[in-house]
Amino acid sequence: MIACLRLFLALCLATLLVACASSPSSSLGELPRTPDASIEQLLEQAATSKSPDKAALLRLSAADLAYRQGNAGRAGQILQQVPLDSLKPAQQIFASTLSAELAMVRNQPKAALTALSHPSLQHLGELPAGQQIRTGSVQARALEADGQTLAAAKARILLAPLLKDDAAAKNHEAIWTLIAALPTDQLQPTGNDNLAGWMSLALAVKTAGTLEQQQAAIDSWRAQNPAHPAAVQLPQPLIKLKELASQPVSKIALLLPQDGPLASVSKALREGFMAAHYQAQQAGQNPPSIEFYDSSRLTSVDDFYRKAQAAGVQLVVGPLEKPLVKQLAARPQLPITTLALNYSEGEQGPAQLFQFGLAAEDEAREVSRRARADGLHRAAALVPRGEWGDRVLKAFRQDWEANGGSVIGIERVDQPVALAQQIADLFQLRQSEGRAKSLQSTVGTQVAAQPARRQDIEFIFLASTPQQAQQIKPTLNFQYAGDVPVYATSNVFSASGDVNQYNDMNGVMFCETPWLLDANSPLRRQVTAQWPQAGGSLGRLYAMGVDAYRLAPRLGQLKALPDSRIEGESGSLGMAAGQRIERQLPWAKFVSGQVTRLPDTPR
């Protein structure tokens, strides 16, 4: 009796499944839909079905139900039981889509894209809108995760006409996020389709300077493209920009120490800051007024903010002292938006706190980015012994290894007398000499052998002073490693113009601030005429002061458009995690005792 009842239920479920299946066309076959049944019941019906087609539909439904219930592992196991090649096109599209969704659960976008490359996908446009949306959505997510930003944007633009309500709004914002993330040189609008409209909008926003100019560019674009989806509904970040433009900063407090160990650093920052302010005035802009506060005499942060608020200050630039920045980062909120000129250690900080500085960690990540762009994979590192060297090495190593590189040798430079031995150890030259001596002992005669270095080191990451680099590069040459590329942080560059020093570092590539690499910058010429020291290594601080002034009114802009950048004097500036301003730097190389600018790293 129980067996008969089970057979009856099986027939009912199979009938229900077929009845619920959609039929795009007889040639494409049926799309499975999950009936009111459990995974176990569906699999049981599949096992007892005499029709392979119905069994496949049942298993596809069971796999889909497992995925929707959050059991990706089981969904994958069930899907493997379905012979893809024997299915009809609609079912192949369904199975390929589910396979891609499961790959994305495993964070494998390439596997997802492979699944979506099945020939059956050419019939996707003939299927119901629901299936087109599902397939298109996972394709867009996979393309984005695989770094194919433009292709992901195109996929979402194709999806847009199929979507409604909340799904349409989310897709709309996602399109803008993707397009806005594209570098300017990839924003090449051609034609007058939706993609070209999105691109021209992003290009207009990115190439405008101030918030006011950006707002004018957006208004002009909307007037020229009134029917474009982004003109009908402006993306949220651009709405935020509009709000920011309506609230310009008219008064800034510059909070820097006038006395103490940081007074000379503070002086260079302040002079750079004010040089940018005077340049804005000369250009006919309406810059904010600046009020000066001495952080070396600060007794209470709360008292400072009360005085600043009473004076009508809308934005604080500073402090410079790390303990004060750490204090601010530990607070739940600040009464005035603040751009600190240093970094706290690890704290997220309140929403009103932004942090900016000449972090050596930025340069370590820049070396990683450059070497990666040059197609390299295996690095060795030479860094100073001590806390600074450890921090720089950690930043380089984290970024390098996170992007698939490996660090296969590390030496910490300390005493010059030990340098030759350290480099010999790094390149395993002593092992080569040992093998030669062993061979000589075995054959009993003199063996002419040149030491051979290890060949797996593709480049050296170098963080050192100019004096250390002067010793390191010749030692590499002497130790048969002169042909190994050296990528260095800006610390190797003294900006002294000393040809003999530069000659000792011939071949070394290094990242550096635009300020020190572009002597023809109008602002730099103006500043160095008044303060000659701004043309030397102190120039990095002058550049930071200039950029602090230019950043101050645009913090909300960077926050609203997280993929946008400001081309500054201390580097290309963008917003990183924790509202930290992160720099990307241009590159140069010592060639025949001169500094030669290199092409910028592709972004």
The DSSP H or E segment spanning 567 is: strand 566-567
List C-alpha distances in Å: 25 to 19, 52, 74, 131: 15, 19, 30, 14
- Give the Cα separation of 171 and 229 in Å (integer): 11
Q: Residue 210 corresponds to which tokens in the numbers above?
A: 């101030």
pLDDT at residue 420 in the model: 66
The residue written with tokens 């119901």 in the block is 128
The answer, yes or no, to whether residue 509 has pLDDT greater than 90, is yes
How does strand 459-462 pair with strand 378-384?
A: parallel
Residues in the chain: 603
Is residue 91 within 8 A of residue 31, CB to CB? The reply is yes
Kindly indicate the confidence band of residue 419, based on its pLDDT and cuts at 50, 70 and 90. low
Write the DSSP assignment of 383-445 as a string of letters.
EESSHHHHHHHHHHHHHHHHTT-EEEEEEEE--GGGHHHHHHHHTTHHHHHHHHHHHHHHH-S
For residue 85, the model assigns a pLDDT of 87
Is the per-residue pLDDT at 14 higher than 60? no
Q: Where are the beta strands (DSSP E) in 248-377?
A: 251-256, 289-294, 315-317, 337-340, 353-355
Task: Give the integer Cα–Cα distance in Å for 487 and 396.
Answer: 11
Q: What gap in Å lies between CA 198 and CA 218, rounded to an integer?
A: 12
Segment 383-411 shows an average pLDDT of: 94
pTM score over 0.85: no
pLDDT band at 7 (very low <50, low <70, confident <90, very high): very low
pLDDT, one tens digit per residue, over 260-307 is: 999 999 999 999 999 999 998 888 888 899 999 999 999 999 999 999
Taking alpha carbons only, the member of 547, 528, 548, 529 closest to residue 538 is 528
Q: Percent of the chain scored above 70 by pLDDT?
A: 89
Per-residue pLDDT tens over the stretch 183-217: 777 888 887 789 999 999 999 988 876 777 888 89
User: What pLDDT, on the 0 to 100 scale, is given for residue 438?
Assistant: 45
Summarize the confidence of residues 391-413 as an average pLDDT.
93
| Torsional sign, CA 36, 37, 43, 48 | negative
Query: Mean of the pLDDT values across residues 334-344?
Result: 95
Can you tell me the distance from the alpha carbon of 461 to that of 297, in angstroms, rounded to the nearest whole number? 41
Q: Residue 416, preceding bond cis, omega within 30 degrees? A: no
* Selected residue with higher pLDDT from 249 and 114: 114
> Would you state the pLDDT for residue 283?
81
Whether the pLDDT of residue 397 is over 50: the answer is yes
Tally helices (H) and strands (E) across the chain. 26, 17
Annotate 181-226 with DSSP letters as a single string.
HS-GGG----SSSHHHHHHHHHHHHHH--SHHHHHHHHHHHHHH-T
In this prediction, residue 451 carries a pLDDT of 54
- Mean pLDDT, rounded, for 243-251: 81
- What does the block give as tokens for 385? 């012994």
Q: What is the pLDDT of residue 6?
A: 40
Q: Which residues, 6+ apart, have CB-to-CB distance to 29 below 8 Å?
A: 23, 53, 87, 88, 89, 90, 91
Tokens matching residue 117: 């490359």
3-class SS at 294? strand
Percent of all residues in the chain with a pLDDT value above 90, rounded to a whole number: 63
Give the pLDDT score at 452.
56
CA quadruple 568, 571, 572, 574: dihedral positive or negative? negative
- In which band, very low, low, confident or very high, does the pLDDT at 439 lie, cut at 50, 70 and 90? very low
pLDDT score recorded for residue 86: 86
Give the burial class of 274: count Cβ atoms within 10 A of its Cβ; 0-12 exposed, 13-18 middle, 19 or more buried.
middle
Phi and psi (nearest 5°) for 413?
A: -80, 135
Q: Which residues does 552 contact at the CB level (< 8 Å), separation at least 6?
A: 249, 252, 288, 315, 317, 339
Count other Cβ atoms within 10 Å, centred on residue 423: 24
On whether the CB atoms of residues 573 and 551 are closer than 8 A, the answer is yes
Over residues 375-384, mean pLDDT: 94
pLDDT in tens, 64-104: 999 999 999 999 999 999 998 889 999 999 999 999 999 99
Residue 528 φ/ψ region, left for φ over 0, alpha for ψ in the -120 to 50 degree band, beta for the rest = alpha
pLDDT reported for residue 454: 61
- Does 473 or 422 have the greater pLDDT score? 473
Confidence of residue 414 (pLDDT cuts 50, 70, 90): confident
Q: Which residues contact 520 (CB under 8 A, 6 or more apart)?
A: none
Q: What is the pLDDT of residue 131?
A: 93
d(CA 11, CA 19) in angstroms, rounded, equals 12
- Which amino acid is located at 335 in the chain? P
For range 474-496, the mean pLDDT: 87
Confidence of residue 5 (pLDDT cuts 50, 70, 90): very low
User: pLDDT tens, 56-66?
Assistant: 999 999 999 99
Phi then psi for residue 576, to 5 deg, are -105, -175
Q: What element of type H or E holds 576?
A: strand 572-576
Q: Indicate whether 441 pLDDT > 60.
A: no
Q: Which domains does the chain show, CATH number per domain?
A: 2-147 (1.25.40.10), 248-355+520-575 (3.40.50.2300), 361-512+588-597 (3.40.50.2300)
Q: Which residue has the tokens 């241009």?
A: 586
d(CA 126, CA 449): 72
Give the model's pLDDT for residue 2.
40
Q: Classify residue 150 as exposed, middle or buried by CB count within 10 Å of its CB (0-12, 13-18, 19+).
A: middle
**Rg of the chain in Å (alpha carbons):** 31
**Nearest alpha-carbon partner for 579 in 596, 600, 562:** 562
